[in-house]
Structure 1
Amino acid sequence: MTAVAVRPRSLVVLAGLPGAGKTTLLAAADTGGAPAVVLDSDQVRAHLVGIVPRAVPYRCYRPVVHLLHRTRILWYAITATRSLVLVHEPSTRPTTRAGLVVVGLLTGRSRHFVWLDASPEEALSGQVERGRLLNSRSFARHVRRATRLRARFASGHPPRGWRALTVLTRRDRLRLSVAAA
Structure 2
Amino acid sequence: MNRTTAYAANPGLALPGQPAAPAPEACAELPAPVVRDLRDRGGRSPHALLFGPRDLAVITGLPGSGKSTLMRRTVRGLRIDSQDTRDRWDRRMPRSVPYALYRPFVRLSHYAGLRRALRSGEGVVVHDCGTQAWVRAWLAREARRRGGTLHLLLLDVAPGEALAGQRERGRGVSRYAFLRHRTASTRLLRAVTDGALPGGCTSAVLLDRAAADTLRRIAFTG
Which range, TM-score by smaller chain? 0.7 to 0.9
Is the 2:140–2:150 Cα contact (8 Å) retained in structure 1?
yes
Is the 2:54–2:143 Cα contact (8 Å) retained in structure 1?
no
Higher Rg of the two aligned structures:
2
Alignment map for 1:22-41 (pairs within 5 Å): 22-29=67-74, 31=76, 36-41=77-82
2:135 paired residue number? 96
Which residue among 187, 202, 206 is the counterpart of 1:148? 187
Runs of 4+ in structure 1 displaced over 4 angstroms? 177-180
CA distance, structure 1, for counterparts of residue 119 and residue 209 of structure 2: 31
| SS class of match (1:121) | helix
* CA distance 1:74–1:49, shift in 2 (3 Å): same
2:98 paired residue number? 57
Higher relative contact order (CA 8 A, sep 6+): 1
Q: Percent identity, aligned pairs only?
A: 35
Is the 2:56–2:123 Cα contact (8 Å) retained in structure 1?
yes
- CA drift of 1:156 comes to 3.6
* Count of residue correspondences: 174
CA distance, structure 1, for counterparts of residue 83 and residue 98 of structure 2: 15
Alignment map for 1:1-181 (pairs within 5 Å): 2=46, 3-29=48-74, 31=76, 36-79=77-120, 81=121, 83-172=122-211, 173-174=214-215, 175-176=217-218, 178=220
Is the 1:39–1:87 Cα contact (8 Å) retained in structure 2?
yes
Unaligned runs of 5+ in 1: none
- CA drift of 1:155 comes to 2.4
- CA drift of 1:53 comes to 1.9
TM-score by length of structure 2 reads: 0.70
